[in-house]
């Protein structure tokens, strides 16, 4: 069994190991965040099983996915479990491997470029910078119980960047809580939709006005939220032009 990270979306960001495994796998079990361009690398003869999850819309519960992976492995098939980003960063990869380990099934993990790194690069927002941020925190905006009860005091420390995965649905509450715990209302924030692919869209603003901006722009998942002074660098460092990619690809 191979647990493989598919990266943030751009197929050029796949590792060589990931491509080789996809080209010779018998079965691929993939998530919603895996782009169609990445799936183009899957062997034509391979069985494809969609196990995607969107907010409030799960094709399979996590327990069902775990059981499916165990069943496929026990059938002796070569299986790639393909996850967007990196499988060990908010990807539930650890939970799935625990299920395999409990049944004595051997596995290999192939890292992927996590969304925080890939999306921030394509948005022209460095996560660290000597003049702006010496610390970077990765946070999930959607906990296992469905809440967003985060360690707010740790998220409002100065000179740091906070990257929030899966935080679009609770963005208004996140911004409100950060300000209530001492963050300045004018703290820069960016929300990036479809990072690294042709439909990428970057919306920047402040904690005070971002919820309204996101609603006005009609942003939808998948989105990544970046908070901190580094967001100010977006205007000068944004190199990726999605409209050009869409025209020339």
pLDDT tens digits along 180-213: 999 999 999 999 999 999 999 999 999 999 999 9
DSSP state of 34: S
Catalytic residue numbers? 31, 53
Closest-CA residue to 115 (of 147, 155, 87, 153): 87
Asked if 168 contacts 225 with a C-beta cutoff of 8 angstroms, the reply is yes
Write out pLDDT tens, residues 91-124: 999 999 999 999 999 999 999 999 999 999 999 9
| Domains of the chain by start residue, with CATH | 2-110 (3.40.1010.10), 115-242 (3.30.950.10)
- Cα(190)–Cα(19) distance, rounded to whole angstroms? 31
pLDDT in the model for residue 55: 58
Tell me what percent of the residues of the chain surpass a pLDDT of 90.
89
């Amino acid at each position: 069994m191979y647990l493989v990270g598919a990266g943030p979306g751009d197929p050029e960001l796949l590792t060589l190991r990931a491509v080789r495994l996809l080209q010779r796998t018998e079965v691929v079990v993939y998530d919603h965040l895996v782009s169609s361009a990445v799936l183009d690398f899957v062997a034509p003869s391979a069985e494809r099983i969609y196990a995607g999850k969107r907010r409030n819309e799960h094709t399979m519960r996590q327990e069902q996915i775990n059981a499916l992976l165990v069943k496929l492995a026990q059938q002796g098939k070569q299986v790639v479990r393909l996850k967007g980003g990196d499988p060990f960063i908010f990807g539930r990869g650890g939970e799935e491997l625990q299920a395999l380990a409990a049944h004595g099934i051997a596995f290999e993990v192939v890292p992927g470029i996590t969304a925080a790194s890939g999306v921030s690069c394509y948005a022209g927002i460095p996560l660290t910078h000597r003049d702006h941020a010496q610390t970077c925190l990765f946070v999930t905006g959607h906990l296992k119980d469905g809440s967003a009860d985060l360690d707010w005091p740790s998220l409002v420390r100065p000179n740091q960047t906070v990257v929030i995965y899966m935080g679009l649905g609770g963005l208004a509450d996140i911004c409100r809580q950060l300000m209530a715990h001492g963050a300045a209302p004018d703290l820069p924030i960016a929300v990036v939709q479809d990072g690294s692919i042709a439909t990428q869209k970057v919306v920047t603003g402040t904690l005070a006005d971002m919820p309204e901006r996101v609603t006005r722009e009609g942003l939808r998942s998948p989105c990544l939220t970046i908070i901190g002074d580094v967001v100010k660098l977006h205007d000068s460092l944004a190199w990726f032009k999605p409209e050009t990619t869409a025209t020339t690809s």
